[in-house]
Amino acid sequence: MRTKIVAGNWKMNKTLAEAKALTNEVLNLCISEVKSAVKVILCVPYPFLQSTTEQCEGTTIAVGAQNCSEHESGAYTGEVSAAMLKSIPVPYVILGHSERRQYFREDGPMLAKKVDRALAHQLTPIFCCGEPLEIREKGTHEALVRQQIQEGLFHLSAEAIGKLIIAYEPVWAIGTGKTASTQQAQDMHAVIRKELAAKYGDKVAQSIPILYGGSVKPDNAKELFSCPDVDGGLVGGASLKARDFVDIIKGA
């Protein structure tokens, strides 16, 4: 049995004061309302990692970053290393989000290096994959997502890949209000798990959590999360409202 995971991806939103207030609200609602054993992760912007970590200390909520550098350290102005995240300490990091792939040209080889840096510092990557609309319409989405998994992850040993969380996020569903149907989500999660099993064996593939992302909302979370291969969600827009986010957590 894989534990359900709900991760909030705040993207580039909120000020420090707003971030503190939102974290507080999520914490309070979780304490009073969430009874099941769901792993909750708040992936907040870099400037809020320290304060969110302090606020979540001693609770069941964990903190994650939204990216890290593929380099260990050095002259990379504006970048943040895995070692820095670990030193806070932040345990999770989103890697390969479609917005990073699209706007910052992050590709398979670069993401493979980022995954390595994160694992070298004992961070858990939340590795994102997913197809844009034109690929879905062409019908080549399965091939593309398999390729993203191969390029980003297949250099890893079975032991190393077993430490990851994967998130399937169809780009056409991100921030659009258009969610994948439960069948579409389940089908792609099964494709990913099959791909993992072909390379690493069934036991490893069955142990890796695969989250769905793309317009997850309180009213669709429960149905999506009930699919056999969907182990929770990566939530963008709805994670910025404590009430909605906690209702999604309750859906898991």
Which positions are annotated as active-site residues? 97, 169
Count Cα atoms within 13 angstroms, Cβ side, for 2.
Answer: 26
Whole-angstrom distance, CA of residue 252 vs CA of residue 239: 14
Which parts of 217-246 interact with ligand PGA (CB under 6 A)?
234-238
Smaller CB separation from ligand PGA, 100 or 200: 100
Cα dihedral 237/239/243/244 (nearest 10): 50
8 binds ligand PGA (CB under 6 A): no
Which parts of 166-205 interact with ligand PGA (CB under 6 A)?
169, 174-175
Amino acid at position 39, single letter? K
Smaller CB separation from ligand PGA, 82 or 167: 167
Tell me which DSSP letter residue 40 carries: E
CB of 237 to ligand PGA, least distance (A): 3
Smaller CB separation from ligand PGA, 89 or 175: 175
Tokens linked to 161: 């890949």
36 burial level (CB within 10 Å; 0-12, 13-18, 19+): exposed
67 binds ligand PGA (CB under 6 A): no
Which residues of this chain interact with ligand PGA, rule CB under 6 A? Answer: 9, 169, 174-175, 213-216, 234-238
